[in-house]
Structure 1
Amino acid sequence: MSFSCWLLCISALWLKVSPAESESWNAEVPQSVVGLEGSCVVIPCLFRYPGPTKQASHFTGIWYTESHDKVYDPTPSKISSAFQHRTSLLGDLSQRNCSLKINPLRRSDSGPFMFRIEIEDFNKYTYYQNKVSITINDSLGQPNIYIPEEINSGKRVTVTCSVFHSCPSDPPNFTWSHKGTISSQSLQQTNGQWKITSSLSFTPSKTDNKKKLTCTAAFLGGKKVDSMKTLEVKYAPENVAVISENSVAEGSSVNMTCSSDSNPAPHTYHWFTEARTLLSEGHTFTLNNVSRHIGTIYCTAINTVGHTNSSPTQLNVLYPPEIKTGSSCTLDTSGVTCIFVIDSHPASEIKLWGADPSTELRRTNEEKHGTLTIVILQGVLGFSDAVHCQATNSQGNYTMTLKVPQYPETYNSKLLYISIAATVVFVMIIGFLVWIIRRCRRTEAHLSLQPKTETNVSNQSEPSRKCTDVNPCYDGSQHVYGNMALEEPYEEEYPYDYASEYEETYANV
């Protein structure tokens, strides 16, 4: 509270008694006030005098001890050395406010004290009957913290901290251990006491629960007092989860617990399937005859603030292998294909064999899809009359035998005839191709044996028409063109038998 507001409060007290009601000398002061050593103290004072209608030109206020030592005087040199530089007169004497401030307060300043008024050109009076004493304490007590009964996470709240003091001109300063918006208000009490209240507004969260909230009041002079309370913040359930065994065998029972973090603790728990079918109520839930098809389960925790669902939980159900009825062996032109579909959890060790159990068949391919394992075996016809498949895991084993299909006898006969016919056709085609090739070669040979005439020679290019004497000793008796007459007929069928004769024929060219 500001000093001007404090003066208004003092004036309001004075107005309660109108000067017209009494024309006697009287002062309104408390019989005693409480002060903090080392801080300041204010003794509230209102005085009255007879003849209030008389206009006074000047007022002089003086405070004395019971031994007439001056505690305060307008002339500082007249003040007792015990109070030098520590006292001041607050308020306006013309408004009958005679309040005294002592700062700092010492252990020896216990009083009693009395007030004297001197009115220029009118009268003087000492209020001996209105004495006031000071009770000096080392502490004015711890602050009082008020916290609302219910504090919810996320909702703004205001907490207060109040302390009594006797120095309205310099009230205590407050500090808080929590961040927020701070305001203060000071109210006058009886016997010269004042009460100052500091307010802290903030929005609590889950992390504020169980946190210590401290309020500290620092008085003029350096003394400090503090108080502490624990915050109780309520919040809806958080971190809701289903807790159960890591694995459970199919057909057995499993116990599940719904855990959560909340304040206050949940008062109700609900258990649901993924289709929102209510299974049970309670903190724990026992599921009997567990099936691999149970699906997901979740729980809901409910308290006075709200409710929260857990994440869907899929039970880890263990069950022995099962080879599905869709497994089969099929036959086509490429051979036999056997497919086995195994459902198990955990995954199974798979063994395939034919007529000899000690000889394992090598699978062609293996695929895994969740809990399903698909094994594919491919082979030529006749590798086995039956295929056996055994799947084994920690929960048990399962064996299935599939008969390998065979081609019928009529089909085998037809296949043999078709193979023979195809072979004959292939041989005939090869023979025909050989004959065509030989025929083409003979035709090429016949064309290469045709005689070259002069006309043929003249049609050649210039470089080819140049002739060179075969025999430089030519005497004219030889036939230049003797090659035109053939002594033996040309045999087409056996061209290579007369190769030497052909060479003589064309030797002159």
Structure 2
Amino acid sequence: SEMLWLLLPLLWAGSLAKDEGYTLTVETPVTVQEGLCAQVACNVSYAQDGWDDSTPAHGYWYRGEAHAPDKVLVATNNQTHKVQEETQGRFHLLGDPKTNSCSLDIRDARRTDEGFYTFRVERGNIVKYSYRQKMLSVQVTALNHTPNILIPGPLESGRPRILNCSVPWACERGTPPTFSWTSAAHSSLGPRTRLSSVLTLTPRPQDHGTNLTCQVHFPAAGVTVETTIQLNVTYSPQNLTITVFQGNGSAPTVLENGSSLLVLEGQSLCLVCVVNSNPSARLSWAKGNRNLNASRPGVLELLPVQAGDEGEFTCRAHNSRGSLHSSLSLSVQTSCSSSGVMLGAVGGAGATTLLFLVFCAVFIIVRSCRRKPAGAAAGTGDTGTEGANAAQSPTPQKSQPDSRLEHLPPPLAVPSSGKKEEIQYATLKFHKIKPGSPQEQEGGTENEYSEILMPRGTSGE
């Protein structure tokens, strides 16, 4: 064991002698975000043994130990050596070991790139050295950058604007990202650069407050980031409405421009004016050409409604982009006019009833007049006696046993005088007799009427 202790200093001295002149300077650890790039500054020195200035120098970056069986070559300047396919095109040896540089460039960083890396230098037949005592640590974190959306000036309804989405923090030497836009507004894609995209946007009033998204995808790293903004679109007043609230408990009513409104005197009335605009419009009320002082913007209260409130009311909305107005005509029904309407209704009904009664009376009179001349014509002139006789003479048909014509009295002689005759009425009773029985039957009498012409001045008058 004493011999072993004596050999240790010799072995240590030999190791120092072997590593003498071989140094590597590198900042470690190195942190890079997914999809981005990192340049690792590195300086190397080695022994000047077995080579001259014309001898080429080759450098190698390995993932893991340079002498480990599972080592992976990720970058080299020796074209005869093949690097790992996963890192091909992404890891580059920027420096030249011939000038003592071992700088490493990492592009489109991936999570799988995280780990330890070892550098090895070879020059001539003697210098073949791996710097295991100074390994590079690479750490890969999530991408926390987002795209930048630039809007030059305010967005105005109907006016095209050019929007720019860029990723200035991305790597110019990396794989170009892809851009995509999402918006409800009318838009069209414009020219793009390696790290930016242009969108021409023509906003509308309904696009105010909607989202616009720019999404950027880094295909080499398989990561995507995006930025979403809300559009601030300025526009003139739109869709102005007047809502009526009456104190009679009726439901609110929305009036169109130019509408008419009838309200009872003494009733409460509230007119609310609402409009869409950006920036917010200033609302005001006017009656005719006179501006009114509203208790609240856009709210006009008439508590209570008076007869003098009749007229045209106008709500106006105004902002920096334009103006809009809506009007209504207010009519007030007073209590007197209400009573007049009631009296008019009652009077009209009475007049209608009176006209109906007059019409009925006229109808009855006309009908009576028609009946009287008809009766007079039947009992006057030369035909009067004949008519009476005809009424008392038997009919050509076979007489019946109970015929009343057999018991009629002889015709009356009517004196022919120059006096005016008039119609008189007499009642004649005829007793019904059962066939084959001469006896009268109770309740068998009938009343029949006949006209008798009597001259004026007789006892019949």
Q: TM-score, length-normalised on structure 2?
A: 0.47
